[in-house]
Amino acid sequence: MSTFHGKNVVVTGGAYGIGRGIALGFAAEGANVTIADINDEVGSTVISQINDIGSKAILVAADVSSAKGCQKVISETVESFGGIDILINNVGISPPDSYLALDAVPESLWDRIMNVNLKSYFLMSKFAIPEIRKRGGGVIINTASVQGLQSMKGVSAYAASKGGILSLTRQMALEYASENIRVLAVNPGTIDTEMVRVMAANVTEDTHEIIQEWGKSHPIGRVGTPADIANVVLFLASDKASFMTGEYVNVDGGFMALGAWAGGAGSE
């Protein structure tokens, strides 16, 4: 029997990159998976991949930066699978036009990043927790970033949102520990995702070359993959991590140990 057989998992931003890797990882371990994403075409492809694995999955096309979208995700998951055991708050954006000094960031752009990267984590948790409570407990894992700990120029909104996720993780862990709901975070470093490739394209036309160069600046000698993040998330969500809550894990190829990493590469 697989580790998560019979467990119901929700992954926001599950159509791309890290979210897709996490969704596929849980499916491979027997979970029923809900993918919440605004891109239903790409999300449908991931659903097909999960079905090929032999697990059950649904796609909920929803904007989780709104309460209405989050409620839709929760209600359709409960209707399809009967409840929620694990919530993965993963969705995040770092628009190419947002790399600006703080005084040059439009208020609308700041709000958009905060709504997607931070407010959605609040809203999804708010509506998922009553369902997780009905199951006798569960796990919430938030995708933050090493930029929530250290940062670089030009990413004020993104860095603030990721720092907020880490603080929210600690608060939620204390709030719900007595109800057997564990809350944790992962901090990806530079991961080879669509978002990072967009960043790379702003540097050079040869995105493969620049990503290889970023990899050389990591102590481990490469950038990460979505599977690297998924493997840690699956551990944190499992009973093997039953004494962990309110904590984060850096999955960054050694960047935070190296220090002053922001001068060497991009980030998730």
3-state secondary structure the chain: CCCCCCCEEEEECCCCHHHHHHHHHHHHCCCEEEEEECCHHHHHHHHHHHHHHCCCEEEEECCCCCHHHHHHHHHHHHHHHCCCCEEEECCCCCCHHHCECHHHCCHHHHHHHHHHHHHHHHHHHHHHHHHHHHCCCEEEEEECCHHHCCCCCCEHHHHHHHHHHHHHHHHHHHHHHHHCEEEEEEEECCECCHHHHHHHHCCCCCHHHHHHHHHHCCCCCCCECHHHHHHHHHHHHCHHHCCCCCCEEEECCCHHHHCCHHHCCCCC
Higher pLDDT pick, 214 / 32: 32
3-state secondary structure of 54: coil
Cα–Cα distance, 161 to 155 (Å, whole number): 10
Domain with CATH 3.40.50.720 in the chain: 8-189+226-248
pLDDT band of 197, cuts 50, 70, 90 = low
Q: Which residue, chain included where needed, has tokens 């992962």?
A: 186
Label the pairing between strands 138-143 and 57-61.
unpaired
Predicted local distance difference test score (pLDDT) of residue 199: 67
Average confidence (pLDDT) over 204-213: 72
Round to the nearest angstrom and report the end-to-end CA distance of the chain: 33
pLDDT at 266 over 60: no
CATH of the domain spanning 8-189+226-248: 3.40.50.720
For the entire predicted model, the pTM comes to 0.92
Residue type, 63: D
The residues near 70 (Cβ < 8 Å, ≥ 6 apart) are 62, 64, 120, 123, 124, 126, 127
Q: Which residue, chain included where needed, has tokens 């190829």?
A: 253
Tell me the C-alpha to C-alpha distance, in Å, between residue 267 and each of 94, 213, 221.
Answer: 10, 13, 15
Average confidence (pLDDT) over 10-23: 97
Average pLDDT, the chain: 92
Q: Which residues are registered as beta bridge partners of 6?
A: none
Nearest Cα neighbor of 233 from 195, 267, 191, 183 is 183
Element (H, E) at 217: none
pLDDT at 251 over 80: yes
Cα–Cα distance, 153 to 161 (Å, whole number): 15
Q: Catalogue the active-site residues.
A: 158
Higher pLDDT pick, 119 / 206: 119
pLDDT at 218 over 90: no
Element (H, E) at 126: helix 120-134
pLDDT digits over 21-59, tens only? 999 999 999 999 999 999 999 999 999 999 999 999 999
